Structures are given as C-alpha cells and as structure tokens.
Amino acid sequence: MNALEKTLVKMKKNNVKCECNCTFEKLTTLGCGGKIYLTLFPESVSQLVFVAKYLYRHKITHCFLGHGSNVLASDDFYNGVAVVTSFVRDFSVQGDTVVASCGMSTSKLCSQLVNRGLTGGEFFGCLPATVGGAVVCNAGCFGQSVQDVVQSVVVLHNGKREKLSKEQCRFVKRGSIFKNNGDFLVLQVKMRFEKSTPAKVQEKLSQMRQKKAATQPLGCRSAGCVLFNDKIALSKLIDEAHLKGYRVGGAQVSEKHAGFVINLDKATSTDIYLLIRYIKKTLAEKFGVSAKLEVCLVNFPTDAEQLF
C-alpha cells in the first residue's frame, strides 16, 4: 500500500469518518474544484489532533477546510487529504467569555451571543464561515473583525499544542500568522464580548444583515471579496474601472458588489483564477493600486499566488 492507502486504513480503524473522491466543488462556497483522493471529517478536537499529527508525522499532502468560504481550489485532482473541521464544534460560555472550537459555524456562534445578550460579535452572523477559518483570515465586515474579540487561540504548532495570545496571532487586515502557514492548525478560540440584552443584540444583527442583503450577491456562489488593499476599498475602484459584470467563462464580477467574483454559470476554478488576475492587473494599470489575494489557493502551482 502507498502512504495515502495506509492513511485511509488508519483513519477507518480509528473511527474517523472518511470519503474518497469527494470534490472541492462540494466543499467550497465557490462550487468549483477537482476531486480529492481522501476527505476526512473529524468530530472532536481530540480526533482532529489525532488526524493532524498523523498527517504531519507521515508527511502526507493535506489541507484543512472549514466551510470552504474563503478557498479557491484548482480543477486538478488533489492527490492528498482534505480535512473538514466543520463537525468539531464544541462551545462553552462563562460570563462574557466564550470558548469555541474551530469547526463551530459563525452563524451558530452569533445565535449563542444573541441568546445570551452578548454584543460585539454581531458581524459573525454575516460571515459564512467556521470560527477557525474566521480567525485564520481575520474575517470581518462593517468595521468589525475577529481581532477585536479574540483573547487567545489554542493551536497545533508543528504537531504540539500551544496557546497563543492575541498579539502572538499577528493579526493584520484579512490575515494572521496562521494564513497560508501549514505549521499551524487552529483548534479553539477564546473570545470576550460585552454584556447587553438579547433584544439590542438582535436589533444590531438585523441591521447588519439587512445592509448585507442590500449590497451583496447573497444568492450566488462566491467566496466574498477576492482581493483587498490595506488602505483602499477596492470595490469602488473595480466599479470605476467598469468591471461589474465582466466575465471569464462562467465566472463574473458581481453586478451587485464589485468586490465579489461569483460562479455564475458552472465556472471552473481556472475561470475564477484568471478573472481575479485580470481585476488585479486592471487596478494596477488604471489606478496604480496594488491588490492582495484574499482567498486561499489550494492545489495550485507553488508560484500561483506569487503572480498576485
């Protein structure tokens, strides 16, 4: 048996849910990407740690996914292991402090905050993500982001469990020490919120969701904003460049929010990748503005992201 076949046997023997030939199309919000040799679905932090340590120890090609809402995976076959964390969703609360496992959905987290009258995390209800994925990308919207509420993060760092302070996470706009860094796996996140009332928190959340529905293409498959600049709102410039509605194959710049690239009509990952590169090139030529890639690339050539 080769290493991947041995991995499948080992995971089944240890009661880890497995699926062969699953696709990134199924596992990502963009709805595109190739087949995967083996996909694993751990259901607890301890099981996730077991899986991760095995993959590290045996040097198995792998990637970790939450809801796949910030991921663009290539159309090619992935000869490795994808680990889906969305069943690792333990949650506890003590006063104004919350501890959530990496796979808990941000919408479920937000519901818990509403029920307990804890404010400061309403933006989580507008993110199609897991808590772990949100931390990795320092996700946020409407002027709030993950770094505003994080107290500490428990990670697996080169196979060893560690607790990092907020400062050690090195949060930046739409990024952290964890993004595109295979040495780290986020396991649990400790967050702190402010006390309010359920009614007030719900009102604030409703206002955010109304604004989101009015400005973003919620009914379309996308990964949210695909590019960002540390100082400038790129969606306005993309609009001024008359790129709304611009297409490459089945991929399109959203006509509702210029920062979004949507899978309009059976887009391939290559369609989306080429469209993002075209947007970046146009912004540089027309406005002299640099754009950084916000989505994470999986199973692309190693120099693919350098082209951004």
> pLDDT of 201-214, one tens digit each?
999 999 999 999 99
User: What distance in Å separates the CA atoms of residue 254 and residue 217, rounded to the nearest whole number?
Assistant: 7
User: What distance in Å separates the CA atoms of residue 115 and residue 53, rounded to the nearest whole number?
Assistant: 36
What CATH number was assigned to the domain covering residues 3-84? 3.30.43.10
pLDDT above 70 covers a percentage of the chain that reads: 98
Mean pLDDT of all residues in the chain? 96
| Predicted confidence (pLDDT) per residue in 57-69, tens digit | 999 999 999 999 9
**What integer pLDDT is reported at residue 178 of this predicted model?**
96
294 carries an active-site annotation: yes
Q: Which of 225, 247, 277, 305 is catalytic?
A: 225
pTM over 0.85: yes
User: What distance in Å separates the CA atoms of residue 215 and residue 200, rounded to the nearest whole number?
Assistant: 23
**Domain spans of the chain, in order of start:** 3-84, 91-199, 217-307
Q: Is 5 left (phi over 0), alpha (psi -120 to 50) or beta?
A: alpha
Average pLDDT over residues 127-144: 95
Q: Which of 32, 102, 110, 294 is catalytic?
A: 294
**What integer pLDDT is reported at residue 241 of this predicted model?**
97
What CATH number was assigned to the domain covering residues 91-199? 3.30.465.10
| Predicted confidence (pLDDT) per residue in 201-249, tens digit | 999 999 999 999 999 999 999 999 999 998 899 999 999 999 999 999 9
**What integer pLDDT is reported at residue 308 of this predicted model?**
54
Determine the angle formed by the axes of helices 106-116 and 198-215, rounding to 10 degrees: 150
User: What distance in Å separates the CA atoms of residue 301 and residue 294, rounded to the nearest whole number?
Assistant: 17
- Signed CA dihedral, 175, 181, 182, 184: sign only: negative
174 carries an active-site annotation: yes
Average pLDDT over residues 109-127: 97
Domains 3-84 and 217-307 share a fold: no
Element (H, E) at 154: strand 150-157
Q: Which of 22, 32, 174, 296 is catalytic?
A: 174
22 carries an active-site annotation: no
User: What distance in Å separates the CA atoms of residue 194 and residue 184, rounded to the nearest whole number?
Assistant: 29
| Predicted confidence (pLDDT) per residue in 179-190, tens digit | 989 899 999 999
The matching CATH number, chosen from 3.40.250.10, 3.90.78.10, 1.20.1260.10, 3.40.50.1580, for 217-307 is 3.90.78.10
Give the residue with greater pLDDT, 219 vs 253.
253
pLDDT at 307 over 60: no
**What integer pLDDT is reported at residue 151 of this predicted model?**
98
